Chains A and B, each alone.
Chain A
Amino acid sequence: MNFKIIFKLIGFLLMLTGLFMTAGIPFSFYYRSDDIPALLISALITSATGFILWLLTRKTENNEFGKREGFLIVTFGWLVMALFGALPFMIYGTITNYTDAFFETMSGFTTTGATIIQNIEVIPAGLLFWRSLTQWLGGMGIIVLSLAILPILGIGGMQLFAAEVPGITKDKIHPRVRETAKRLWGIYILLTFSEIILLLIGGMNLFDAINHSFTTMATGGFSTKNASTGYFSSPFIQYVFIIFMLFAGMNFTLHYQMFHGKFSFIKKNTEFKSYILFIAIVTLIVTVVHLPHIDFHLEEAFRQTLFHVTSLVTTTGYVSSDYENWAPFSRMFFFTLLFIGGCAGSTGGGIKFARHYLLTKNGLLELKRLLHPRAVIPVRFNGKAVGMDIISNVQAFFIFYIGIAVFGSILLSIFGLDFISAAGAVATCLGNVGPGIGTVGPVNNFAHLPDIAKWILSFFMLMGRLELFTVLLILTPAFWKS
């Protein structure tokens, strides 16, 4: 194991994180808030730590690293970023408990959007901006960003990319990983920028527009308002949110194709089709259920339903209504949605459509295989047959995912959560969604949980964001044997 290169790269990441902490200072000036010292001090501590790490390891000649180093850099990079990212909240004093600050930051970086802050509107602008920025950076991935802007990584770049943007199949849009990273971030920035413009047109002020665009495109879900997006009652703004949540939940390779005028994926891409179809069908059903709840205003019922279904399926986690109480069974309905997830290669979390599709299709084909034991009947995905190695990988992922969710729920019950809240909290954190059910439901937050529960959930968020394998691998003894 080449530890020097690991520390060197984590040092770089910390310097970068420190730099980003200062990004909200213009807003602090504009709104005359008193958080500038807190931001500056945090930035200094973070960058200085990073600089020292880099200084100690800079002389290393050996710049090569393999899969193991890649997994370690990504996992510990994210961990350290969250540890230091919590500093502004602590130093300013808006959050007094470090556990809470860490939970909030991890929830930010992993684009979960679960929060422990009760009154968000008293938090100064610079700090709010940092909170939204953690999500935006975490959405496309800060390591992907480093790959795009730092010329330091050679061959190892691909290992890092694979560890931070796990997925089922690798679709690089350029032969070189650095160019791929640049293009992904380019699309990401362009979409974010478009959303800002549209939200401004919808009447939002610039600060809110930027913050919300950051958290929509990252499928994060943090808001600057206590009532979350419910604060913005304009249908136009809600539709803008819906559309950009849908964009964020799509595979970014598809955006790349769209920018090049290729729209054939609408017909050909299996995952995209199942994504749109699923949201449409669920919205249709829930709209009918929701109608009596709001005195049969059809458009409003449709909009609210579509908004929440999209928000949960893409793992954004925006909330504008207490959907748990729309109908007696809507809690179960929305709980199930926590396990769906966006498309592979999107900024969304969760199990993801590609995996659901492969598993379901493989399950159905297994029935056919029983009839024809000697036949070779592969699952077809995007018109291509999928090998058994991939199916087996997806099955393993699914088993781990469900196993961790069950195990986590039991663990949280032991620490005093009721059944529904425990299951909801784990599902929403592992899936990087945000709101759960029960006492961590759409109108509640995570502040009341015991500290230990918050650490466990923070760990689940990280596992969910890095799609289990990256983190789980490090926990196996085999990983440490050379």
Chain B
Amino acid sequence: MRIIIAGVGDVGYHLAKELSYESHDITAIDINQQRLAHTDSMTDILSINGSATSLSILKQANADKADLFIAVTSSEEMNIASSILAKKMGAKKTIARISNEEYLSNEVKINFKEIGIDFMIYPEALVVQETVNLIKRTAATDLLEFEGGKLSVMGIRLDKNAPIIHKTLNEVAKEYPNIDFRIVAIYRNFRTIIPMGKDKFLPNDQVFVITKPEGIETILKLAGKENINFNNIMILGGSKIGRGVAKLLPEEMTVKLIESDEDKTFSLADELPRTLVIHGDGRDIDLLAQEGIIDVDAFVAVTEDAETNIISCLMAKHLGVKKAIALVDKTDYVPLTQTIGLDSLINKKLNAATNILQFIRRGEVLAQTSLEGIDAQLFEYEAHPNSSVLKKKVKDLDFPKEAIIGGIVRGEESFIVVGDSQILPNDKVVIFSLPAGIKKLEKLFKS
């Protein structure tokens, strides 16, 4: 596929890396020479320095022959304008990153396809949903739902006194023969492991489990966790994400939002009648104490500044907050934060990139999600009636060792996959895979 990426910030860079890995022909356009050079050196792409709204640059990038044009610069206007231009020049499909929720809502209907934008992504909305899920599912570090919750993938960090510590996978499976879950990955010492039967659980492992809704309680018990209900939430930063989270949290939760820009606080208070909006700096310990940080269950730091978010989350943890969630948009920090004791972190840009990849692979892939901090992806494939996965039982398939099948959704039912499972046509299959396994997976599911 010929793909043009306009803007190689974090999202564009991540996309370029992922897509060049899958041997697509990628042309990157960016106005910043340095950023472009960096991307160029790390990936196998053609780079063009210039503005994505310049016709000559677009022509130079062969926009007329492109299969896909992705506009992910930091400016919404530029993304929209360049997508339209590229489409009019002959690009087959266009994707624009936006920063305005209204474009996706149905209040005023505008046919964006008609003017040349096939798909719009609004990363903030994805992050908001993820954050709210994390607050609701308190013991999990990650939580991803498939097919409306019929299957979910949960990330949990193992406590020292968890019942399954120092046991192998096989032992656990023997002990709990009737439970509906499967361990798909373990993240340990910066490495993602696809576990085999003989692998042991160690303290501080981050374990990813696929489960049916009924299995969640048992899993939490095994990990030595309890799902407590959170009532007291504190949000730092009244950005679009902060607003969105405050709006989406259930009514019975007490929500406080701290914002340092005085003008912004008033419009926040206007928009969020159920939230107590506080003017101040989230790193000010006196302020946090005054607003009862001691009683806060979850602390969500979503200012624009990654450092502030990390520091304030650490402070909140230090003051006894049960769960701290930080928005960390600097991809370089992602591995670091896991070790310094943050519970969950969210990355707007990775989220956006994943969302775009999902769009690109649409067809076979129904959904695709990345797990923060670990170099792996979750896919939801639909099994085509004549694809090769249907021919054998799961244990006999030539399955990549970098990937693992988690579960199947068949109509209204869902199953956790074991060796003897057989995939049937039109099953929706949830698969966990390291990047190296993706190519092989695609072949297996291709019709």
**Residues of chain A at the chain B interface (Cβ within 8 Å):** 372-378, 380, 383-385, 387
A-contacting residues, B252-294, CB 8 Å: 265-270, 273, 276-280, 287, 290-291
Closest 9 CB pairs of A and B: A385-B270, A376-B265, A376-B277, A375-B278, A376-B269, A374-B280, A378-B269, A374-B278, A385-B269
Most buried by A among B268, B269, B287: B269
Report whether B278 and A376 are in contact in the complex, using a CB–CB cutoff of 8 Å: yes
B42 nearest CB across to chain A (Å): 45
Report whether B270 and A375 are in contact in the complex, using a CB–CB cutoff of 8 Å: no
Residue of A whose beta carbon sits closest to that of B286: A374
Report whether B276 and A375 are in contact in the complex, using a CB–CB cutoff of 8 Å: yes
Residue of A whose beta carbon sits closest to that of B291: A372
Chain B window 5-35, contacts with chain A (Cβ cutoff 8 Å), 1 for yes, 0 for no: 0000000000000000000000000000000
A149, B278: Cα distance in complex, Å = 50
B234 nearest CB across to chain A (Å): 12
Contacts of A372 on B, CB cut-off 8 Å? 276, 278, 290-291
Report whether B290 and A373 are in contact in the complex, using a CB–CB cutoff of 8 Å: yes
Contacts of A373 on B, CB cut-off 8 Å? 290
B270 nearest CB across to chain A (Å): 3
Report whether A374 and B273 are in contact in the complex, using a CB–CB cutoff of 8 Å: no
Most buried by B among A375, A380, A387: A375
Residue of A whose beta carbon sits closest to that of B287: A374
A253, B278: Cα distance in complex, Å = 35
Contacts of B290 on A, CB cut-off 8 Å? 372-374
Contacts of A374 on B, CB cut-off 8 Å? 278-280, 287, 290-291
A477, B280: Cα distance in complex, Å = 41
Contacts of B270 on A, CB cut-off 8 Å? 378, 384-385
Contacts of B269 on A, CB cut-off 8 Å? 376-378, 385
A198, B312: Cα distance in complex, Å = 69
B324 nearest CB across to chain A (Å): 21
Contact of B273 among A375, A376, A380, A387 (CB under 8 A): A380
Residue of B whose beta carbon sits closest to that of A373: B290
Residue of B whose beta carbon sits closest to that of A368: B276
21 contacts between A and B (CB under 8 A): A372-B278, A372-B291, A373-B290, A374-B287, A374-B290, A374-B291, A375-B277, A375-B279, A376-B265, A376-B266, A376-B268, A376-B277, A376-B279, A377-B269, A377-B276, A377-B277, A380-B273, A383-B273, A384-B270, A385-B266, A385-B270
A178, B257: Cα distance in complex, Å = 44
A432 nearest CB across to chain B (Å): 34
A347 nearest CB across to chain B (Å): 31
Contacts of A377 on B, CB cut-off 8 Å? 269, 276-277
A386 nearest CB across to chain B (Å): 9
Residue of B whose beta carbon sits closest to that of A380: B273
Residue of A whose beta carbon sits closest to that of B273: A380
A383, B272: Cα distance in complex, Å = 10
B63 nearest CB across to chain A (Å): 43
B337 nearest CB across to chain A (Å): 28
Residue of A whose beta carbon sits closest to that of B270: A385
Report whether B276 and A378 are in contact in the complex, using a CB–CB cutoff of 8 Å: no
A387, B277: Cα distance in complex, Å = 15
A377, B291: Cα distance in complex, Å = 14
B290 nearest CB across to chain A (Å): 7
A380, B271: Cα distance in complex, Å = 10
A373, B290: Cα distance in complex, Å = 9
Contacts of B280 on A, CB cut-off 8 Å? 374
Contacts of B276 on A, CB cut-off 8 Å? 372, 375, 377
Contacts of B265 on A, CB cut-off 8 Å? 376
Residue of A whose beta carbon sits closest to that of B281: A374
Since A374-B287, A376-B265, A377-B269 are in contact, a sample of 18 more A-B pairs with Cβ atoms closer than 8 Å, ordered by chain A residue number, is A372-B278, A372-B291, A375-B277, A375-B278, A375-B279, A375-B291, A376-B266, A376-B268, A376-B269, A377-B276, A378-B269, A378-B270, A380-B273, A383-B273, A384-B270, A385-B266, A385-B269, A387-B266
A-contacting residues, B334-361, CB 8 Å: none
B246 nearest CB across to chain A (Å): 13
B243 nearest CB across to chain A (Å): 14
A377, B257: Cα distance in complex, Å = 12
Residue of B whose beta carbon sits closest to that of A383: B273
A1 nearest CB across to chain B (Å): 37
A384, B266: Cα distance in complex, Å = 11
Contacts of B277 on A, CB cut-off 8 Å? 375-377
A417 nearest CB across to chain B (Å): 47
Residue of A whose beta carbon sits closest to that of B267: A385
B232 nearest CB across to chain A (Å): 14
Residue of A whose beta carbon sits closest to that of B268: A376
Most buried by B among A374, A377, A383, A384: A374
Contacts of B291 on A, CB cut-off 8 Å? 372, 374-375
A374, B284: Cα distance in complex, Å = 12
B338 nearest CB across to chain A (Å): 33
A383, B266: Cα distance in complex, Å = 14
B354 nearest CB across to chain A (Å): 36
A384, B269: Cα distance in complex, Å = 9
B259 nearest CB across to chain A (Å): 8
A87, B265: Cα distance in complex, Å = 58
A383, B271: Cα distance in complex, Å = 9
Contacts of A375 on B, CB cut-off 8 Å? 276-279, 291
